[in-house]
């Protein structure tokens, strides 16, 4: 009985019991002091490429591998004369090549984002035991926009959210931010997500005020080194609420120097702004419906 009790204590203290899922698939073994480090040649001083190199160092600790990573702007990659024309802007190539008398893993792409995705792809091969003696793999995204659409309100609550409050802590930004934002960006980049819509659709025009644009920009600064862009959804009535206009009806021509929307030239009786909002034209109804579901166009 005493032996069984000791075994229960041992299993309870094991690392498996402490796994909370936070690291997702990025469960690299812990770095050990004095462990062999990979040799990574990367001469480009680009934030996204630095993220790729840091991730490779983190994931390959203890593996004395030789890697060359970058775009054709790197002399080391350019000297290999690789054909990257089929990779597009975010694709990558991973190859085992003979370089300088020895084998090296070459992760090459046309743009830094592709290098980052290639780094994560190689780490997946290592993590799953699929990295053989020689590798030749290439891939590219099918869609240019791969976004997470957050239904987060500015007060921290998430519409139809079941996992706690928003990680975008607007009351603290831009002076300070949640450390989870970097982990969030890193996790997204590891599966090819390249953008995030920060706010709930058509909910609050406040997100477009200068103070909140600065807050959103501080989030963008954290996400950008991981190849992610920030998008904001615009409330349909923002021109009235924060723009000082009398209507948000898109069927009315743009405003002149006065800052007020000019009514359309028509012999029909004019509508009040209240009528325009409560009974929009068919065209305005279509635009409003499309606005609620469309991909945001305000980006940082």
Look at phi and psi of residue 162 and say left if phi exceeds 0, alpha if psi is from -120 to 50, else beta.
alpha
Q: Which of 219, 229, 198, 266 is nearest to 90 (CA)?
A: 229
Q: Which of 42, 114, 61, 59 is nearest to 85 (CA)?
A: 114
Helix axes 180-190, 112-127, angle to 10 degrees: 80
Percentage of residues of the chain with pLDDT beyond 90: 59
Separation of alpha carbons 57 and 53, rounded Å: 6
**Where along the chain do the CATH 3.30.379.10 domains lie?**
36-139
Confidence bin at 293 (pLDDT 50/70/90) = very low
- pLDDT of residue 179 exceeding 70: yes
Quick one: CATH architecture of 147-261+272-299? Alpha-Beta Barrel (3.20)
**Where along the chain do the CATH 3.20.20.80 domains lie?**
147-261+272-299
Q: Which fold has domain 36-139?
A: Chitobiase; domain 2 (3.30.379)
Give the model's pLDDT for residue 107.
98
Q: Let me know: does 202 contact 64? Beta carbons within 8 Å.
A: no
Strands of the sheet containing 136-139, edge to edge, are: 39-41, 66-70, 102-108, 92-99, 136-139
Q: Let me know: does 95 contact 79? Beta carbons within 8 Å.
A: no
> Could you tell me the pTM of the whole model?
0.78
Q: Please provide residue 61's backbone torsions phi and psi, each rounded to the nearest 5 degrees.
A: -60, 130
The mean predicted confidence, pLDDT, of the chain is: 82
Q: Let me know: does 57 contact 40? Beta carbons within 8 Å.
A: yes
- Per-residue pLDDT tens digits for 209-259: 999 999 999 999 999 999 999 999 999 999 999 988 888 888 887 655 555
Confidence bin at 142 (pLDDT 50/70/90) = very high
Helix (H, G, I), strand (E, B) or coil at 106: strand
């Amino acid at each position: 009985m005493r032996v069984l009790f000791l075994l229960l204590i041992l299993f309870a203290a094991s690392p498996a019991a402490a796994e909370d899922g936070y690291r997702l698939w990025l469960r690299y073994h812990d770095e050990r002091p004095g462990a062999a480090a990979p040799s990574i040649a990367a001469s480009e001083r680009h934030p996204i490429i630095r993220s790729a190199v840091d991730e490779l160092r983190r994931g390959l600790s203890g593996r004395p591998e030789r890697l060359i990573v970058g775009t054709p702007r790197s002399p080391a990659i350019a000297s290999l004369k690789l054909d990257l024309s089929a990779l597009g802007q975010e694709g990558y190539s991973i190859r085992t090549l003979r370089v300088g008398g020895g084998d090296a893993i070459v992760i090459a792409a046309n743009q830094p984002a592709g290098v980052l995705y290639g780094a994560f792809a190689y780490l997946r091969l290592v993590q799953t035991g699929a990295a053989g003696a020689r590798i030749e793999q290439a891939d590219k995204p099918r869609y240019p926009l791969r976004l997470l659409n957050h239904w987060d309100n500015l007060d921290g609550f998430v519409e139809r959210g079941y996992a706690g409050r928003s990680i975008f802590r607007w009351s603290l930004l831009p002076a300070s931010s949640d450390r989870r934002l970097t982990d969030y960006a890193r996790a997204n980049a590891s599966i090819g997500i390249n953008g995030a819509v920060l706010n709930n659709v058509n909910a609050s025009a406040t997100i477009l005020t200068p103070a909140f644009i600065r807050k959103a920009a501080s989030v963008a600064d954290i996400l950008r080194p991981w190849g992610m862009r920030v998008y904001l959804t615009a409330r349909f009535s923002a021109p009235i609420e924060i723009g000082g206009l009398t209507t948000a009806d898109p069927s009315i021509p743009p405003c002149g120097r006065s800052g007020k929307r000019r009514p359309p030239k028509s012999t029909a009786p004019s509508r009040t702004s209240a009528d325009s909002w409560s009974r929009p034209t068919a065209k305005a109804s279509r635009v409003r419906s499309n606005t609620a579901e469309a991909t945001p166009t305000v980006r940082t």
